[in-house]
Chain A
Amino acid sequence: MSDLPQKVKDWLGKPVIVVDHVVTVEQGLWTNFCVAVKDGNPLYWDYSVSREETETVIAPPTMLPSWAIEHEWMPGREGPALRTLELHFMVKDALGLKNGLVTEVELELHDPLRAGDSVRAEQILRSVGEERETRLGLGRDWEIDVVYRKPDGSLAGVQTLHLLGYGKVAA
C-alpha cells in the first residue's frame, strides 16, 4: 500500500467518520421497509407475539445501517448531508476513482433496536488493495467496518463492507 496517498494511509484503522443519533428509531419507518420486502415477521409488527420473544416489537435487525444515515435535508444545516457511507466516497475521491460499488457485506448483529433507540456509528477504513484491472476498468478494492453502538455503549452490530472503486478520473 506504499503507493497510497498519505491522507488515505492516515485514515487506516481509526474512526474517521462518526455519525451520532441522526435518526430516532421508530416503527413507522421500519414498517415501510417491511412493506417493501414483504417481511411479515411478527417481531416487527405484533405486540403480543413479540412480548414473549423481545418484550416489544423490534426494528428488523438487518436495517441497522439505515439508522445512521443522515436526513437528506434538515432545517438549519448548511451544505448537503453526509453520503450513505461517507468514508467510502472519501477514499474513492482520494484515489481518483469515478465510481464505487459494494461487492460484499457482512452484518454481525447484537442487541436489537426498539422504538426510541438511536445509534452512534463509527466508520473505520480497514484495508486498501493494490490497483488492478477489473471488469469495469482499472480499480481498487477496500474494506470498511462500521461499528454501531447504542447511547449506553452496548453493541448493536458491526457491518463490514468490501468495496470496489473503478474508472480512473483523468488527471
Chain B
Amino acid sequence: MTAPPTPHIGMSLPKLDIPITRKLVSMGAAASRDWQPQHHDPDWARDAGLPDIIMNNYTQAGLISRFVTDWSGPSGRIGRLRFSMRRPVCPGGTAKFRGMVVDISAEVDAMTWVEIDIEISLDDTRATTATVRLALPATARSRSPWHCPAVKWRP
C-alpha cells in the first residue's frame, strides 16, 4: 500500500479539475438518495430563483472527501468536514479543487491531525470553501487512525 504523505504547513494537495455535467449533478443526487427537485428538475430550479439544477451538498462532500483521500491514501481518516456553499454549482464549466495544509497537531494517540483548507472555484469564481480535519498515522510505525478506539477518537 502507498505510504501516507508527510505533510507540512503550506503543502499543496495535487490539483483536481472536474467538469460539472448535468450527468454528474443528477447522478450524485440519485446515488446519495436525494430526490429534492432542485437537483434534477431545471424548470423547478429556475422557478426557485436558481440558474439551473444545483449539485447537492452530499455530492460536494463526496468530492471533497475524494480530493483529500486521493492525496492521503486509505490510512487518512477524515474526522470533520465543514464547507460553505457560497454559489450554486450548476452544470457547465469545470470545478477546480485546490487545497493546502494549514495546521498540523502534535502527536495524539499515535495520530497526527492535519487541517486542510480547500477551495472549489468555477470559472475562477469561488463556489465552495471547506476545511477538513484529517487524521494520519503519526509515524510510519504508528497504528492506522482507523484502529483508534472510539473513546479516543476526538474529531
Q: Which residues of A contact B (CB under 8 A)?
A: 23, 29, 32-33, 35-43, 49-50, 52-54, 60-63, 65-66, 69, 72, 83-84, 98-99, 101-112, 136-137, 154-155, 161, 166-167
Contacts and interface: CB of A to CB of B under 8 A. Distances in A.
B126 interface: no
Given A32-B31, A66-B33, A105 B57 contact: yes
Given A53-B144, A99-B49, A167-B49, A105 B74 contact: no
A106 B81 contact: yes
B3 interface: no
Contacts of A111: 150
A102 B65 CA distance: 19
Is chain A's binding surface mostly helix, strand, loop or mixed? mixed
| Size bin of chain B's contact surface | 35 or more
B139 to A, nearest CB: 17
B91 to A, nearest CB: 14
A106 B64 CA distance: 12
Nearest to A137: B49
B59 interface: yes
A112 B61 CA distance: 16
Given A53-B74, A62-B81, A105-B81, 16 more contacts: A37-B63, A62-B58, A83-B36, A98-B48, A103-B84, A105-B57, A105-B82, A105-B83, A105-B85, A106-B83, A108-B79, A109-B78, A110-B155, A111-B150, A166-B49, A167-B49
Given A32-B31, A36-B31, A61 B78 contact: yes
B59 A36 contact: yes
Interface of B: 1, 24, 27-28, 30-36, 48-49, 57-59, 61-66, 69-70, 74-75, 78-85, 144, 146-147, 150, 153, 155
B150 A110 contact: yes
A72 B79 contact: no
Contact of B34 (A32, A49, A69, A166): A69
A106 B80 contact: yes
Closest 5 A-B residue pairs measured CB to CB? A33-B31, A39-B66, A62-B61, A32-B31, A37-B62
Nearest to A103: B85
